Amino acid sequence: MIDMHAHWRPAELAEAMRSRTKEPRIVKNSDGTEMVKSRMGDEPLSKAFDSADAYVAQMDRQGVSVSVLSLLGQYCWVESQPLETSVHLCRIINDSFSALCQKYPGRFAAYAAVPLVDIRAAADELERAIGTQLPGNAFLTSKDAENMRPLMEVANRHRAMLFIHHGPRPGDPFPKVGGETDNARRRNGTLDMQASLSSVMVTLCLTDYLAAYPDVTVTVHNLGGNIPYEVERMDHRCLLDTPKEELPSARFRRSKVYVDCNSFGPRAIEAGVRLYGAERIVCGTDGTAFGIDWTTKAVAESEIGVEAREKILRGNAAALLTQRMKIAQPVKAAA
């Protein structure tokens, strides 16, 4: 298995978090134990960051040959700090990613963190990486996506890989639903996330935005939102409202945007294969043991055939990574 959606919690951020006055930050509790405080709750520092050796051992136990790492969402605050701070922290993260890839050659690749508070500065940081993770809110509409063109131009020149993950741009209110609302976790973690990812896919696949960037590889997580289920209604409305327009399903199918199968079960994966084709779906697990078990079981139980299953678990990702780097060699810079 090649896991294209595996998040990382970098210990190199600990010192910066100790000096923060608002969450996420590191504070000492009454007995002197350092705790990471974030919107996800409190966690002892000893458990808050990822151990590389433990991560590789987990990969070995679960049959994951390569993990493509990206910054865990609750640490993406670094990308929206004032420019000088953001650039400094992103470089710390990316250098740590690069060192990890070199320490374990062939086991890791990584998406860079970039200072999103300034898109041109983000583009400069992308110059030394093979790809980056970007927030979904930057692509909710084509108007939103216009602001990303300086970065997209650099990505196209370097044949970079972009991982578009649900999340805010600097300054966006997030999460959308406050904790006082009933089922806030379900509303934020599923309803809003999937709807937002659907909007991202509409921007990327139903406009000509990506036409100027033919050498960029784009992946959207969680099957690209709800598109595999909503596309039939889109086609129906198209036939009624704009009958001379090409059906949305045809445009989604023809698009070069990849999606991962993170967090979904066999029926959803089957719907994704019917819409996008198995060649456009890669494996994703969030990088957790639970996620790996869940995804492995979901793909195994999907009625998609052996060839499609192999493409999703490894073949598609191997082809993408091989195009951009020697998978058995360390990356050339922070990735």
User: Quick check: 334 pLDDT over 70?
Assistant: no
Q: Is the pLDDT of residue 329 over 60?
A: no
**What three-state secondary structure class fits 203?**
helix
- Number of other CB atoms surrounding residue 161 within 10 Å: 26
Which segments of the chain are extended strands (E)? 2-8, 25-28, 34-38, 41-44, 66-71, 108-110, 131-135, 161-165, 217-220, 258-260, 281-282
Q: What is the C-alpha to C-alpha distance for residues 113 and 131, in angstroms, rounded to an integer?
A: 9
pLDDT at position 335 is 43
Q: How far is CA 214 from CA 78, 209, 255, 290, 316, in A?
A: 30, 10, 11, 36, 18
pLDDT per position as a tens digit, 174-192: 999 988 999 999 999 999 9
Higher-pLDDT residue of 138 and 175 is 138
Q: Which distant-in-sequence residues (6+ apart) come within 8 Å of 232 by Cβ?
A: 249
DSSP helix/strand/coil, 261: coil
Q: Are 118 and 83 in contact (CB under 8 A)?
A: yes
DSSP string, 2-24: EEEEEEE--GGGHHHHHT-SSSS
Which residues are 258's β-sheet partners?
219
Q: Measuring CA to CA, which residue among 135, 118, 152, 283 is closest to residue 199?
A: 135
Q: Which amino acid, 105?
A: P
pLDDT of residue 324: 75
d(CA 214, CA 253): 16
**Mean of the pLDDT values across residues 304-323?**
96
Report pLDDT for 328. 35
Q: How does residue 325 score in pLDDT terms, banded at 50, 70 and 90?
A: low
- pLDDT value at residue 323: 81
Q: What is the pLDDT of residues 57-114, one digit of tens each?
A: 999 999 999 999 999 998 999 999 999 999 999 999 999 999 999 999 999 999 999 9
Length of the chain: 335
Asked if 38 contacts 23 with a C-beta cutoff of 8 angstroms, the reply is yes
| Cα distances (Å, whole numbers) of residue 215 to 130, 155, 157, 250, 277 | 12, 8, 7, 21, 20
323 within 8 A of 10, measured Cβ to Cβ: no
Please tell me the predicted confidence (pLDDT) of residue 130.
87
pLDDT value at residue 288: 94
- Residue 217 pLDDT > 60: yes
Question: Cα–Cα distance between 235 and 255 in angstroms, integer?
Answer: 16
Closest CA to 115 of 154, 86, 138: 86
pLDDT at 49: 92
- What percentage of the chain carries pLDDT values higher than 70? 97
The CA distance from 294 to 305, in Å, is 19
pLDDT tens across 234-260, in order? 999 999 999 999 999 999 999 999 999
Has residue 326 got a pLDDT over 70?
Answer: no
pLDDT at residue 41, rounded to an integer: 84
User: CA-to-CA distance for 259 and 35, rounded, in angstroms?
Assistant: 35
How much is the pTM? 0.94
Residue 116, both tokens = 């999103």
Mean pLDDT of the chain: 94
Give the pLDDT confidence of 5-35 residue by residue, as tens digits.
999 999 999 999 999 998 899 999 999 999 9
Q: Which domains does the chain have, with CATH numbers?
A: 2-7+51-324 (3.20.20.140)
